[in-house]
Amino acid sequence: MITVQNLHTYRGLSYVLQGVGLTAEGASCTTILGRNGMGKTTLVETVMGLLPAREGSIDLDGNELAGKSPYQIARQGVALVPQGRRVFSSLTVEENLTLGARRGGSANPWTLERVYDLFPNLSRRRRNRGSDLSGGEQQMLVIGRAVMTNPRVLVMDEPSEGLAPVIVDLVGTVIDQLRQQGLCVLLVEQNYGLAVDVADKIYILSGGQIVWDGTSRELEQSPDVRHEHLGV
């Protein structure tokens, strides 16, 4: 379980996260929705240690993550599927997958075989460079790369961005499978459809603060909330 409390983060001089608090449990998908510029990516980068938290705490199963460097946070069991995918373009598919591979104390760890079973496309292109893949394949690659570290929490920053609808559906299916295998998925999205499909719990981030939380069904039944904070 990951618990974020009273998180404040600056990006340069601008005060972005203004006291964010949320909880994400194992074997579930917690989604953070919000429009552009509301602090979603800043939240992701703060959790991963890529941006320093000015104040507040990020607790993963009793270990404080705030103030640690990204590699320490990753070794504590947080993996990142970053916005814009960021594959290692000069590495082969297989090198991308094995670069950070760790068992991470998992009883049934992710291995190359399991990732290739999940994404047969990657298996066929294992010798190709990251830069040779299509957008959808790159998205699968970075998901595979992240689960190969056998994390407890998988943080995904807009994995649907720039993908064809059929690939977005596949991303949704994969998130569902990961959750069923016990992973805690923290999904940051703008894609409302994907979010309500896969989320067990939804938070809405607006102006650097959590302004609403509830289940997918509750959000579906609150047109005012959707309209005010998401414009849908």
Instruction: Show contacts with another protein in window 73-112 (CB under 8 A).
Output: 74-75, 79-80, 82, 86, 88-91, 95-96, 98-100, 102
Question: Do 31 and 195 contact (CB within 8 A), yes or no?
Answer: yes
Please identify, among the stretches 8-16, 63-71, 107-115, 157-165, the one whose residues bind another protein according to the rule CB under 8 A. Answer: 63-71
Q: Site for another protein (CB under 8 A): how many residues?
A: 24
Identify the H or E element spanning 40: helix 40-48
CA–CA distance, 81 with 11 (Å, rounded to integer): 20
Task: Give the nearest distance from C-beta 188 to another protein in angstroms.
Answer: 15
Gyration radius of the chain's alpha carbons: 17
Indicate the residue among 15 and 71 with the shorter CB distance to another protein: 71
Task: Give the nearest distance from C-beta 216 to another protein in angstroms.
Answer: 29
Task: Give the nearest distance from C-beta 35 to another protein in angstroms.
Answer: 25
213 binding another protein? (CB under 8 A): no
Relative to beta strand 153-157, strand 78-81 is parallel
Give the burial class of 43: count Cβ atoms within 10 A of its Cβ; 0-12 exposed, 13-18 middle, 19 or more buried: buried
Tokens 């805690």, residue located: 184
Residues at the contact surface with another protein, assessed by CB under 8 A: 48, 50, 69-71, 74-75, 79-80, 82, 86, 88-91, 95-96, 98-100, 102, 130, 145, 149
